[in-house]
């Protein structure tokens, strides 16, 4: 008993200071491929298996919601793409807004796994670990959708999970928001063509905010939650 009190005091605070301060520790994020100007495009487009790298109006773009982090663009090409180290990837879907300030301080989150590979869920779980500690920001995982403000969905929505996911959404009180986490939840990812919903969660539920990545690191998910609570200003989606 006395041991852990002593140990606790000795260890001090290990949680990240994000969002008040920037988090710079190494290894917190896998990063995303970064398109820079004057890069040889044809090679890249042909090497990317998911059309994440594509051309619109002669401009080379990266659609992060399709990227499955297969590293081919940095391994199998003559001019490898460099990867950015950031993690603030969340973006609102068109016409979606954060919670109003009345509801936006503390959020209760119901996590539903609708067919992920386990990695996205693993990263979500880490939000409760002392290093990320989302409780300090007023975010809590609820055991039941009936008390939840946010439905956090990971994974490609399988045929067999569709019904359960829909029921969970319907059980939530309003105002409610849906957050899709991970490439699978956004577009199907590597399971595209399998027994899953075609466009990820958005084909079943109205998605408000998306966090790309395969899997997105805990801080990216935290960034999404902060944005949803209206406590972080982020870019708007164009979709």
Partner 1 sequence: MKEIFDSIHYFCDEFSEDGNFVTIKTKQLKSLSLYLFRDLDCDLSSVVALRAKDGFNIKYLYSYPKKDYFFIVCQNIQDEFESFADDIPALNWFEREISDLFGIIPLNHPDFRALPLHPENYPIGFHPMQNDKIKDENYGTYEYKDVKSEGVYTVPVGPIHAGVIEPGHFRFAMSGEPILQLEIRHFWKHRGIEKLCEGKEVDEVLNISQKISGDNALSHALSFAMAIEKICDIKVPSFAQYCRVIAAELERISCNLSDFAGVFQDAGYSFGASGITALKEDIMRLMKLLSGNRFFKDFVIIGGVSKNIKPYTKEIIDIIKQVNITFDKYKKIMENSSSILERLETTGKIKKQTVKDLSCVGFTASASGRFSDFRKTHPYLIYSKLDFETLVLSDGDVSARVRVKLNDIKNSFKIIKICTNYISQVDKPKLKVKYEIKDGEEFGYAQSNRGNIVHFVKIEDKKVVRFKPRDPSFMNWQSIQFAVLGDVIGDFPLVNKSLNLSYAGNDL
Q: Does 224 bind partner 1 (CB under 8 A)?
A: no
Q: Does 114 bind partner 1 (CB under 8 A)?
A: yes
What's the number of CA atoms in the CB half-sphere (13 Å) around residue 132? Answer: 20
Q: Does 218 bind ligand SF4 (CB under 6 A)?
A: no
Q: Does 29 bind ligand SF4 (CB under 6 A)?
A: no
What's the number of CA atoms in the CB half-sphere (13 Å) around residue 130? Answer: 5
Pick the binder of ligand SF4 from 60, 69, 168, 226 (CB under 6 A).
69
Q: Does 4 bind partner 1 (CB under 8 A)?
A: yes
Closer to partner 1 by CB, 98 or 145: give it: 145
φ and ψ of 120, to 5 deg? -60, -40
Q: Could you give the C-alpha distances from 79 to 38, 52, 68, in angstroms and in order?
A: 11, 17, 20
Residues numbered 131 to 160 that lie near partner 1 (CB under 8 A) are 131, 141-145, 155-156, 158-160
Contact string (CB under 8 A) for partner 1, positions 159-178, x = contact? xxxxxx---x----------
Least Å distance, CB 236 to ligand SF4, is 22
Residues 6+ apart with CB under 8 A from 180: 153, 186, 200, 201, 202, 207, 209, 210, 211
Q: Does 182 bind ligand SF4 (CB under 6 A)?
A: yes
Residues 6+ apart with CB under 8 A from 10: none
Least Å distance, CB 109 to ligand SF4, is 17
Paired tokens of 67: 């990227």
Beta bridge partners of 54: 61
Q: Which residues bind ligand SF4 (CB under 6 A)?
A: 33, 47-48, 50, 52-53, 67-73, 116-117, 119-120, 155, 182-184, 189-190, 214-215
């Amino acid at each position: 008993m006395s041991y852990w009190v002593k140990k606790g005091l000795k260890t001090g605070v290990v949680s990240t200071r994000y969002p008040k301060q920037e988090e710079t520790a190494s290894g917190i994020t896998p990063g995303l491929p970064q398109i820079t100007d004057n890069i040889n495009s044809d090679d890249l487009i042909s090497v990317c298996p998911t059309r994440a790298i594509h051309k619109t109006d002669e401009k080379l773009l990266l659609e992060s919601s399709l990227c499955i982090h297969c590293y081919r663009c940095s391994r199998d090409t003559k001019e490898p793409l460099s990867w950015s180290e950031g993690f603030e990837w969340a973006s609102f879907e068109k016409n979606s807004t954060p919670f109003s300030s009345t509801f936006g301080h503390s959020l209760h989150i119901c996590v539903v796994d609708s067919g992920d590979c386990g990695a996205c869920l693993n990263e979500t779980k880490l939000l409760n670990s002392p290093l990320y500690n989302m409780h300090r920001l007023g975010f809590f995982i609820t055991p039941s959708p009936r008390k939840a403000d946010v439905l956090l969905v990971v994974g490609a929505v399988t045929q067999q999970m569709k019904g359960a996911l829909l029921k969970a959404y319907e059980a939530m009180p309003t105002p409610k928001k849906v957050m899709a986490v991970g490439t699978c939840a956004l577009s199907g990812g590597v399971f595209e063509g399998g027994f899953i919903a075609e466009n990820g969660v958005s084909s079943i539920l109205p998605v408000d905010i998306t966090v790309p990545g395969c899997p997105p690191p805990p801080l990216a998910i935290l960034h999404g939650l902060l944005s949803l609570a209206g406590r972080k200003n982020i870019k708007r989606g164009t979709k």
